[in-house]
């Protein structure tokens, strides 16, 4: 399965945070690699969307839609700054 870049989850992240999150910088909590969300490897052929670190391939983010509500788990990705206010 071929990975997309982090821009593939732009709409889902906007639904959760109300702003464009693809330029948000952060670090992989597994290996410490710094990147912005747009640089993550995204896989969409699952029940949700999974973003992985391009260096260590660890899952850093999971997004799912439950009854028209998008949920995001960013436990594997430490944002450098809080998301900007919508």
pLDDT above 90: residue 37:
yes
State residue 86's pLDDT score.
61
Distance of alpha carbon 79 from alpha carbon 83, whole angstroms: 8
Confirm whether 69 is domain-assigned: yes
pLDDT at 47: 81
**Residue-level pLDDT at 1:** 73
CA distance 78 to 82: 10
Is 8 among the domain residues?
yes
pLDDT of residue 60: 98
* Cβ-contact 7, 24 below 8 angstroms: no
Say if residue 65's pLDDT is above 70. yes
What is the reported pLDDT for 74? 94
- With CA atoms as reference, report the closest residue to 25 among 76, 63, 82: 82
Q: How many domains does the structure of the chain reveal?
A: 1
This prediction's pTM: 0.90
Tell whether 85 is covered by a domain.
Answer: no
For residue 10, give its domain range: 4-79
pLDDT at 46 over 90: no
Q: What is the mean pLDDT of residues 33-60?
A: 95
CA angle 57, 32, 13 (to 5 degrees): 65
Task: Write down the H helix ranges in 1-86.
Answer: 10-17
């Amino acid at each position: 399965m071929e990975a997309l870049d982090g821009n593939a989850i732009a709409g889902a992240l906007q639904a959760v945070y109300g702003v464009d999150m693809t330029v948000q910088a952060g670090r992989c909590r597994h290996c410490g690699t710094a990147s912005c969300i747009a640089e993550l490897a995204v896989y969409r052929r699952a029940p949700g969307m999974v973003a992985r670190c391009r260096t260590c391939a660890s899952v850093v983010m999971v997004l799912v839609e439950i009854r028209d509500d998008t949920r995001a788990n960013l436990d594997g990705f430490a944002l450098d700054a809080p998301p900007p206010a919508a």
